[in-house]
Structure 1
Amino acid sequence: MRTPPTTRPPLPGSPARPAAGGLTLLGVVLLALNLRAAIAGLAPLLPDVRGDLGLTGGAAGLLTTLPVLCFGLLSPFAALLGRRVGIEAALLLAMLGIIAGSLVRTGPGFWWLVAGTVVVGAGITVGNVLVPSIVKQDFRERQGRVTALTTAALTGGAALAAAVAAPLAHAGLGWRGTLLLVGGLAAVAAIVWLPQLRRRHPAPAARLGGTDVLRSPVTWQLAGFMGMQSLTYYALLAWLPTLLRDAGVPATGAGWALALFNLLGIVTAVAAPALAARRRDQRGLALLVCGAWGVGLLGLLAAPALYLLWATVTGLAQGAGIGLALALLVIRAGTPESARDLSGTVQSVGYLLGSTGPVLLGVLRDGSGGWTLPLGALCAAVALMAAASLGAGRDRQV
C-alpha cells in the first residue's frame, strides 16, 4: 500500500507544503501562547489560594516551582515522546495535558492542586521542547521570524493570564474557576492543531551532553548564567503580586504589574539575541542585563510605591536575560553537534536551578516576616549571574 503523500518529508527544492502555511502558523502561535499562561495565571491568585487552603510560603512557592522542575527533569522524556508518536501528535498531547492538569487543579485540597500542576508542567515541557522542532521543520526559510513570533506569543500569553486572573477571580469565578479558564484556553490550540495529525515527523534525538561539553568550563558558566536568570525570573513571576499586595497595592494593580513584567520581556527577548550576534564578546551586554535586574529589585525593596517603574525595569531585564542566554548557547557552540549537547545540558541545569527560586523566596518570606531578606537573596543571585557572565560572555567556543 502506498504511503500517503502527507507523511513524506519534502524533497529538496520541492514547493512548500500547504500544511506549513497559515493554519500551521496559527497553530504554532496558539501552542506557544499556552506555554507560560497556566504558570503566570496562578501567581496573582497565590494570596487567595494561601488563604483558602492555609498554605505556608514554601508550599505556595512549590506550586509555581513544580512546572519549572518539570522543564529540567522531563525535557529528555518529552523529546522521546516526540520520537515515539511524532511531533504533531506529541504537541496535541501537550495541550491536552494542560487542559487535564487545569481540571485536576480545581479539586478539593492542596494535593489536587499539586497533582494538577505537575500535569500542567509536563504538558508545557513537551511544548517547550517540540515547538522549536516544528518551527525548524515547517518554517525552515523563515524560522527566525517565526521563532520571534512564538517568543512573543509565549510571553504575551503569560502577560494576558497575569492581567486577567485577579479580576476574573474577584468577579465571581474564584481562583479555581480562573485557573480552569486560563488552562482551558489550550483547548483552542488543540482544536486548531488537529489537522496537523495527518502528518507524522519524529523529533530529533535528545542528548544531555557529550564529554567535551561536560568538561568545558564555558558550559558551567553558561549554566550558571541561565540558572540564576531563571531563578530570579521564576521567583519574581511567582511572588511579585504577593509582594505588592503586602505593600498595599490592590490585587488588580498587582496583577497588571505582573502583566507588564511579562509583556515588556517580549521586546528585549527578541532584541537581545540580535545585539549579541553582532558582537564577538557579550560580557558588556550581559552585565547591562544584570545591572537592570539589580536596579529593579533594589527599587522594589526601597520604593515599592513606584512598582510600575520597577515592573518595567525587571520586565526588560528578564526578557533580555533569557534571550541572551539562549543566544549564547548558539554563539558559544563550535559545531551543530556541540550546540545540541550544550543546549541540552545548560537548559536542564538552568531550569533545575531556576525551580528553586519560588520555594526559596516563600521560605525566606515566612522565616523573616518581610521582603528584605527575599529580595536580598535575589540580588545575590543576580551577583552570581554577573560573575558567570564574565566567562559565558567571553569570546570562546565549546
Structure 2
Amino acid sequence: MLGLGRHGWFTLLGVVLLALNLRAAIVAVPPLLPDLQVDLDLDRGAAGLLTALPVLCFGLLAPFAALLGRRVGVELALFAAMLGIVLGSLTRTLPHAGWLLVGTAIIGAGITVGNVLLPSAVKQHFPGRPGLATGLSTAAMTTGATVAAAVSAPLAYPLGLGWRGSLLALGGFACVAALGWLPQVRRRHHAPAPPPPRSGGRILRSPVTWQLALFMGTQSMLYYTVLTWLPSMLRDQGVAPTRAGAALAVLNLLGIGTALVVPTLAVRRPDQRGLALVVAAGWAAAVLGLLALPTWYLLWTVLAGLAQGASLGLVLTLLVLRARTPGSARQLSGAVQSVGYLLSAAGPVLVGALRDATAGWRVPLAAMAAVTAVMATSALGAGRDRQV
C-alpha cells in the first residue's frame, strides 16, 4: 500500500523494535528505586547515577558511536547496541551495587549507539519515505518508555519478580529487537565520514550556541530529574508503587502531542521567545505545584508531561532555525546536544543528594524551580531571531 514491499515492511518492523528499546531500560528504574536503594544500601545521590550515567553516555560517547557505524557498518552496530542493552540488563542484576552501575553504563552505551545510528539507518533503508520511518520510530521510542514506566512496578510486586526480575524482563526485550534486526546485518551500510569542520570555532564562539546549550541542558535536566525522582516523591507520600509508576507513564505519554505541535508553531514565527517562555512557565508550574500542593500530583504530572514534550520539540526546532546552512546545523546540533546532555546528567545526582541532606523534598524541588528560572533566562537568548 505504501510501496515498501515485503522486505521494506520487515525492515520497518526492525526499526520500530530497535526504537522501542532506546529509553525503556532507563525509564524502568525510577518506579523501583526505593526498594532498590534498600536492597543495595544506596543513598539517593548514588541512586541518581542510575539515570545520570546513560545521559552522560549520550554526551560523551556519541562521536564514538558514529565512528563504530563507519567502521563496522550501521546495521551491525545497531545489532551490537541491542546486545549491549541485554548484556547491561544482565550485569545490573548481579548482587552488588557496583555491578548495577556497570550494567547501567553498558546500557547507556548501547542506547547511545542506537540514538546516533538509527537516523542513518532510516536514511539508508527508506530514502523515499523518511517521514514514515522517523515518525514511527519516534512514537515507538516514547511507547517503549511509557510501557516500561507503567509495568516495571507491577512486574516486580504483584507478579513477584522483584526489582531484578523486572529490570531483566524489560531489558531482555532488546533480544527480540536484535532478532528482528538480524536480517539487516548482512547489508552493512557504512555511515559516511563527516566533512572537515571549517566553522567549528565560530560555532563555539557564538553566544547563540551557548544559549541554546543552556536551554537544552536545563530542559533535559528537568526531564531526567523528574523521571528519576517522581515515583520516589510519590511513594514518600504513601502512593502505591504501581500508581507511582503509572504517573511516570503519563509523564512520558503526554509529551508526544506537544512534541509534535510545538515545532509547527515555532516555525511559523521568526522569534520564538514568547513560546519558549510559555514552555518554561509550564515547567515552573509543575515543579512549584509539587512543592506547594503535592497531593495534586496528577495535575502536576500532566503539566510536566506536556512541558517536557514541548521543550524537547522546541529545542530541536531551534537547532534548525538558528543555523544558516546544513553544515552549520550539524555542528550546532553536535555542540549543543553534547554540552546539554553533560549538564543535564548532574540533575538526578544533585537532587538525590539534596534529598538525603535535607530529609525531605522541599529543598530539592526549590532547586529545580531555580533551574526553571535559568531555563527561562536562556530562552530569551535562544528564542531571539538570530543565526549562527
TM range (shorter): over 0.9
Q: Which residue number corresponds to residue 175 of structure 2?
A: 187
**Aligned with residue 222 of structure 1, among 209, 212, 216:** 212
- 2:293 is the alignment partner of 1:306: no
What is the rounded CA distance, in whole Å, between the counterparts of 2:333 and 2:168 in structure 1?
33
Letter in 1 for 2:379: S
Instruction: Report the counterpart of residue 229 of structure 2 in structure 1.
Output: 239
Segments of 5+ residues of structure 2 without an aligned counterpart are none
Alignment of 1:276-315 (within 5 A): 276-315=266-305
Q: Does 1:143 align with 2:133?
A: no
Identity %: 65
Equivalence for 1:117: 104
TM-aligned CA distance change 1:78 to 1:383, over 3 Å: same
Instruction: Write the mapping of 1:49-198 to structure 2, written as runs, cut at 5 A.
Output: 49-170=36-157, 171-198=159-186
C-alpha distance in structure 1 between counterparts of 2:284 and 2:149, whole Å? 23
The residue that corresponds to 1:7 in the other structure is none
How far the C-alpha of 1:117 sits from its partner, in A, is: 0.4
Gaps of 5+ in 1: 1-15
Do the aligned partners of 1:79 and 1:204 also contact (CA within 8 Å) in 2?
no
- One-letter amino acid of the counterpart of residue 163, structure 1: A
Aligned-residue offset at 1:155: 1.4
Deviation at residue 357 of structure 1 after TM alignment: 0.8
Opposite residue 232 of structure 2, the aligned amino acid is T
Paired residues, what number? 383
Deviation at 1:187, TM superposition (A): 1.0
Question: Scaled by the length of structure 2, what TM-score is found?
Answer: 0.96
- Superposed CA offset, 1:118-148 (max 9, x none): 0000000000111111222322333234323
Equivalents in 2 of 1:138, 1:212: separation in Å? 34
The code of the aligned residue for 1:27 comes to: G
The alpha-carbon deviation at position 371 of structure 1 amounts to 0.6
Q: Deviations over 1:202-245 (max 9, x none)?
A: 12335897111111111101100000011110011000000111
- C-alpha displacement at 1:288, in angstroms? 1.0
Which amino acid in 2 is paired with 1:33? L
Note if 1:269 corresponds to 2:259: yes
- Distance apart, 1:382 and its partner CA: 1.1
Instruction: Give the Å deviation of 1:276.
Output: 1.5
Over residues 333-375 of structure 1, what are the superposed CA-to-partner deviations in whole Å (9 max), with x where a residue is unaligned? Answer: 1111101101110110011011111101100100111111111
Post-superposition shift, 1:197? 1.2
Matched position secondary structure for 2:161: helix
Amino acid at match of 1:73: L
Q: Distance in 1 between matches of 2:174 and 2:272?
A: 37
What CA RMSD, in Å, does the superposition of the two structures yield over aligned residues? 1.5
Quick one: distance in 1 between partners of 2:373 and 2:80? Answer: 39
Question: Structure 1 residues 273 and 138 mapped into 2: Cα distance closer, same or farther (>3 Å)?
Answer: farther
What is the rounded CA distance, in whole Å, between the counterparts of 1:275 and 1:202 in structure 2?
Answer: 36
